[in-house]
Amino acid sequence: MRLPLLALLARGPAHGYELKQDLEQLLGSAYPQPNVGQIYVTLGRLEKSGLIEGEDVEQSSRPNKKVYHLTEAGREALSVWFEETEDEPRVRDEFFMKLAVASQTGLADRIALINRQRRQYLNTMRNLSKLAAAENRDNRIAQLLIEGAMLHLQADLDWLERCQEELE
Amino acid sequence: MSEDTPVLRAEGLVKTHHGEGAPAHAVRGVDLSVARGEFVAITGPSGAGKSTLLHLLGGLQRPDAGSVWLAGRCTDSFGEARWAVERRKAIGIVFQFFNLVSNLSVADNVELPALLAGVPPKKARAEREALLAELGLEGKERSMPGELSGGEQQRVALARALVNHPPLLLADEPAGSLDSKGTREVMRLLSRFHGRGQSIVLVTHDARLASAADRVISFFDGRIADDAALDGAPPPRRGGISSVLELRD
């Protein structure tokens, strides 16, 4: 959560609760949201490492709130983050291992393994479809997140199909 | 038909294609039953025989062995003409490449099967108007199919397939020539019609589309390899569905 919070602060100063709301709005209800406590803890750490600075702002009827802004070091960290490319998602290694060793054990049938795994993927796919339908259609970022998860799952299902073709 | 008579039933279906080279065993003994209101997807790699199976179910091809029942009626004795009548009244079909009549307008494409089935022109027109509106195609009535996008053409094909309110809809790779957006559109529409009680058998290699169904049949090498009800039960993992969506920290 560190860098997304920095990125939100690159637009201008904000306090913790604002940042939580901004994240929710940006990523949609489908994305597992950090609770406000996690956000305050993360902001505290970012401040300690000098990437952001907080300023107490007095409020008339409530306790002071802390408004954070990005420091030059924070801006630099953010630039480095954007410069880097990310690792590819890993192949489902645990299932692959089961498939690789199953026939030697006499304990499991490879086709049964594939069928069971497919059922789970299909159910997950169905749940993702439901999420997509429930999510605001105009929130393109949230819709793309769900679509990305579906396309990954589609690739996993295609691969299961290849396994079944080869091993049956 | 009584409530629990399957809308479609098949037993012992076999179909072998004899072309050049070795005979291709497309369908090798398939038993299948589709309950009324059920949405069944048949998935599998290309060449597994799933399209042939759908053609057998819709009478577009005849099995070498086995039988098909439509709402309890055995089709063994059906000739070409009788199947054509069934496909107008009892079965709607959509195909990958839409198969619209290219020199008829959108409106005529949709009304034609209604008129052929003996629906009075006024009623056929009303049905067409309602369906096109429902499918978001108002204003396209006078367009020719070639002027429409793939997604729009498939929606016209869907309207044509449903204009006579057939108890059963067969769909053969309906999103096979559509982009991701068109695929989602088809998925949304199939789900909507299913929600109103339409029985659907869908052949697709697209798992996203298949996951809209109540039941997914995995078809390999001419046979049913698995037949799974999708209950949408959360997978046995901590955090449920959300962990599939979690971005790397």
Interface of B with A in 34-53 (CB under 8 A): 43-45
Contacts of B231 in chain A (CB under 8 A): 123
pLDDT of residue B233: 67
| Residue B242 pLDDT class (50, 70, 90 cuts) | low
Contacts of B188 in chain A (CB under 8 A): 133
CATH number, span A2-83: 1.10.10.10
Residue B103 CB coordination number (10 Å): 9
pLDDT of residue B247: 57
Domain total of chain B: 1
Residue B213 CB coordination number (10 Å): 25
Handedness of CA B198, B202, B207, B208 (dihedral sign): negative
pLDDT in tens, B43-99: 998 888 999 999 999 999 999 999 999 999 999 999 999 999 999 999 999 999 999
Q: Is the pLDDT of residue B235 over 60?
A: no
**What is the spatial distance between Cα A65 and Cα A75, in angstroms, rounded to a whole number?**
23
Mean pLDDT confidence for B115-130: 94
Interchain proximity A122–B216, CB inside 8 Å: yes
pLDDT in tens, B166-205: 999 999 999 988 888 888 889 889 999 999 999 999 999 8
**What is the spatial distance between Cα B105 and Cα B125, in angstroms, rounded to a whole number?**
13
Q: How far is B60 from chain A (nearest CA, A)?
A: 27
Please name the residue ranges forming H helices in chain A.
2-9, 16-27, 36-48, 72-83, 93-105, 110-134, 140-167
Residue B162, in any domain of the structure:
yes
Q: Is the pLDDT of residue A158 over 70?
A: yes
Task: Give the closest of B180, B207, B242 to A125, CB-based.
Answer: B207
Q: Is the pLDDT of residue B241 over 70?
A: no
Q: In this complex, is the C-beta atom of A163 within 8 Å of any C-beta atom belonging to chain B?
A: no
pLDDT in tens, A80-114: 999 999 988 776 678 999 999 998 888 999 999 99
Q: How far is B14 from chain A (nearest CA, A)?
A: 20
Q: How far is B10 from chain A (nearest CA, A)?
A: 23
Q: Which helix (H) or strand (E) element contains residue B181? A: helix B180-195
| pLDDT above 90: percentage of residues in chain B | 76
Residue B107, in any domain of the structure:
yes
pLDDT of residue A78: 96
Contacts of A146 in chain B (CB under 8 A): 245
Q: Name the amino acid, one letter, at B156.
A: V
Are A118 and B226 in contact by the 8 Å Cβ rule? The answer is yes
Q: Name the amino acid, one letter, at B170.
A: L
Mean pLDDT confidence for B117-146: 94
**What is the spatial distance between Cα B179 and Cα B168, in angstroms, rounded to a whole number?**
26
Largest Cα–Cα separation, chain A: 73
pLDDT in tens, A28-64: 877 777 888 999 999 999 999 999 999 998 888 888 8
Residue B240, in any domain of the structure:
no
Q: Is the pLDDT of residue B243 over 70?
A: no
In three-state secondary structure terms, B69 is: strand
- Residue A140 tokens, joined: 């393109």
Domain, as residue range, for B93 = 34-60+80-229
Interchain proximity A32–B225, CB inside 8 Å: no
pLDDT of residue B249: 41
Q: In this complex, is the C-beta atom of B238 within 8 Å of any C-beta atom belonging to chain A?
A: no
| Residue B35 pLDDT class (50, 70, 90 cuts) | very high
Interchain proximity A126–B230, CB inside 8 Å: yes
Mean pLDDT confidence for B117-132: 94
CATH number of the domain residue B150 falls in: 3.40.50.300
Give the best residue of B188, B216, B220, B226 to mutate against chain A (max A CB count within 10 A).
Answer: B226
Interchain proximity B225–A1, CB inside 8 Å: no
CA distance readout (Å), B82 to A46, B25, B129, B167, B221? 75, 27, 28, 17, 30
Are B202 and B57 in contact by the 8 Å Cβ rule? The answer is no
CA distance readout (Å), A137 to A21, A141, A146, A152, B247? 19, 10, 12, 21, 21
Report the range of poorest mean pLDDT among A128-142, A152-166, B19-33, B62-76: A128-142
Mean pLDDT confidence for A135-162: 90
- Mean pLDDT computed over every residue of chain A: 90
Q: In this complex, is the C-beta atom of A8 within 8 Å of any C-beta atom belonging to chain B?
A: no
Task: Give the closest of B43, B180, B226 to A115, CB-based.
Answer: B226
**What is the spatial distance between Cα B60 and Cα B80, in angstroms, rounded to a whole number?**
9
Q: Is the pLDDT of residue B244 over 80?
A: no
Q: In this complex, is the C-beta atom of A88 within 8 Å of any C-beta atom belonging to chain B?
A: no
- Residue located via tokens 């091993």: A167
Interchain proximity B221–A168, CB inside 8 Å: yes
Are A6 and A78 in contact by the 8 Å Cβ rule? The answer is yes
Please name the residue ranges forming H helices in B72-169.
80-89, 106-116, 121-134, 150-162
User: In the sheet that B73-74 helps form, which strands lie side by side, from edge to edge?
Assistant: B24-34, B8-17, B65-70, B73-74
pLDDT of residue B240: 58
Q: Which helix (H) or strand (E) element contains residue A65? A: strand A65-70
